[in-house]
Amino acid sequence: MSDRQSEAARTELKGRQLIEPGDFTVAELESIFELADRIIADPEAAMDWARGKLMASLFYEPSTRTRFSFESAMMRLGGRVFGFDDPTTSSVSKGETLMDTAKVISCYADIAVIRHPREGTARLFAQSVPDMPVINAGDGGHEHPTQTLTDLLTIRHLLGSCGGHTVGVCGDLLFGRTIHSLVKTLNRYPGNRFIFISPKELRMPEYFLSMLPEGSYVETDSLDDVIGDVDILYMSRVQRERFVNEEEYIRLKDVYILDRHKMKRAKDDMIVMHPLPRVNEIATEVDDDPRAVYFKQAKFGMYVRMALISKLLGVDQ
């Protein structure tokens, strides 16, 4: 990216909102990753960027990594955080509308992060406060943009670029908002090819496949058959909370378990990613393999959120 493009990306991101990765151009995404690289190289340089700024952290459903990484990101930038992780402790329990909550929060905070189980809620919240930076921390639909930024930074940092890879995506491809968001965004980078690995009950939705270029993906139900072909293996858990039928969940939850034996078939420079939390789809014996990068990935999530918050607040130096 040229200096002119970098400067334009920096200027254009101040005050913006991130509801889905498509809200930002590839050049703007790259400007975030460049800033994240700077922060990784020298975290202390960013420790006062957001001093005096307040972030509202509004989590309407449980979260560990996403909530903690956002809050630690803001605090490492020198800012402060307020909010809730249980909506019953807020005026929502009294019947306050989401739009009114958004307008009230905008009176106090400089930036807001919202996670909600209902699809479209983050966008509705953002539309209610168009002059305030709002970040979607995951909703009940198919978007989890900051997990996508985390994943892209991990790939870029470890493999050199976000393009030109064979990406194996394994597990729950039907309900996985993290996966849908990542594949859509990786599809914007040149040269990526996808291998979708799932049982037929959890295949990628047809409408989603129709958005991908012809010939850019294949589908299979066998991890063993394709693990040697991938540069990136992105594992995901079968999400119990998305199932109505408990028996169906129990039948499918152990379909794919990545273990040391399967890793022997993989490339020496392949990386294994996972958005976490895992259940048992990756055996703990894999954790010591240098190709297993999911805990590094979690840390990159904090750094990329530091960069994103800085960009949206316009405090990046």
- What's the chain's average pLDDT? 90
Q: Is 195 helix (H, G, I), strand (E, B) or coil?
A: strand
As a residue count, the chain comes to 317
CA distances from 236 to 86, 171, 183, 197, 312 (A): 26, 5, 13, 10, 30
- Tell me the per-residue pLDDT of 44-54, one tens digit each, with 9 for 90 and over: 999 999 999 99
The residue whose two tokens read 């040149």 is: 190
Q: Which has the minimum average pLDDT: 34-38, 69-73, 82-86, 231-235? A: 82-86
Q: Supply the pLDDT for residue 200.
A: 84
The 134-136 sheet, strands edge to edge: 80-84, 54-59, 111-115, 134-136
Does the annotation list 65 as a binding residue?
Answer: yes
Q: Is the peptide bond before 43 cis (omega within 30 degrees of 0)?
A: no
Q: Which two tokens stand for residue 251?
A: 């039948």
Band of residue 300 on the pLDDT scale cut at 50, 70, 90: very high
pLDDT at 61: 84
The percentage of the chain sitting over the pLDDT mark of 70, rounded to a whole number, equals 88
Average pLDDT of span 197-202: 87
Distance (Å, whole) CA 14 – CA 16: 6
Q: Pull the structure tokens for residue 260.
A: 């040391």
pTM of the model: 0.90
Q: What is the pLDDT of residues 221-248, one digit of tens each?
A: 999 999 999 999 999 876 555 544 556 5
Query: Do the annotations mark residue 66 as ligand-binding?
Result: yes
**237 in a known ligand binding site:** yes
Instruction: Tell me: is residue 150 an annotated ligand-binding position.
Output: no
pLDDT of 62: 77
Q: d(Cα 19, Cα 208) in Å, to the nearest integer? A: 18
DSSP bridge partners of 194: 167, 217
Contact (Cβ atoms closer than 8 angstroms) between residue 83 and residue 56: yes
On whether the CB atoms of residues 46 and 307 are closer than 8 A, the answer is no
Where do the domains of the chain lie, and which CATH numbers do they carry?
Answer: 1-142+299-316 (3.40.50.1370), 144-285 (3.40.50.1370)
In angstroms, the CA 68 to CA 222 distance is: 35
Q: What is the pLDDT of residue 14?
A: 95
Q: Is 76 known to sit in a ligand binding site?
A: no
Structure tokens at 5: 């493009």
Q: Which residue has the tokens 């939850």?
A: 253
Q: pLDDT by residue (tens digit) across 243-298?
A: 445 565 555 556 788 999 999 999 999 999 999 988 889 999 999 999 999 999 99
239 known member of a binding site: no
